[in-house]
Amino acid sequence: MAFVDVDDLKARNDSQGHAAGDRLLLQVVETVRGVVRDYDLIVRYGGDEFLCGLADVGLAEARRRFEAANASLAATLGASITAGLAELAPEELLEDLIGRADADMYAQRHNRSAE
């Protein structure tokens, strides 16, 4: 599971308008589609958040894919995402999996800002 947050969407909405923010969201989804498989699930979870379900992909490979998406967004749009990842544990509830991916997203953001 990947918990993906579009960085600074509110600032873009405030400075360029909501139509620009909506275009960015669509471009983020298209970029993420480029690094996942056709059958992997991408669901909008909140205003600037998406959940991505990737079956049979390890955390290292998933992280590599989302780093590639982030690099592409930075190069083409000057935008970025932060992705948190979690693997489904036996008998784990979806709510708990999402919570762990969300927590990892915040940890990734904190680690990036500390660099």
Q: Is the distance from CB of 7 to CB of 28 less than 8 angstroms?
A: no
pLDDT tens digits for range 11-34: 888 999 999 999 999 999 999 999
Of these residues, 48, 96, 102, 104, which one is catalytic? 48
d(CA 26, CA 30): 6
Angle 51-53-58 (CA atoms, 0-180°, nearest 5)? 120
Task: Give first-to-last CA distance, the chain, whole Å.
Answer: 25
Q: Is the distance from CB of 75 to CB of 68 less than 8 angstroms?
A: no
pLDDT tens digits for range 56-109: 999 999 999 999 999 999 999 999 999 999 999 999 999 999 999 999 999 999
Query: Does the active-site annotation cover 48?
Result: yes
Confidence of residue 112 (pLDDT cuts 50, 70, 90): confident
Question: Is residue 1 pLDDT above 80, yes or no?
Answer: yes
d(CA 49, CA 82): 10
In the chain the domains, ranked by start, together with CATH numbers, are 2-114 (3.30.70.270)
Mean pLDDT (whole number) for 5-14: 91
Residue 94: what pLDDT? 95
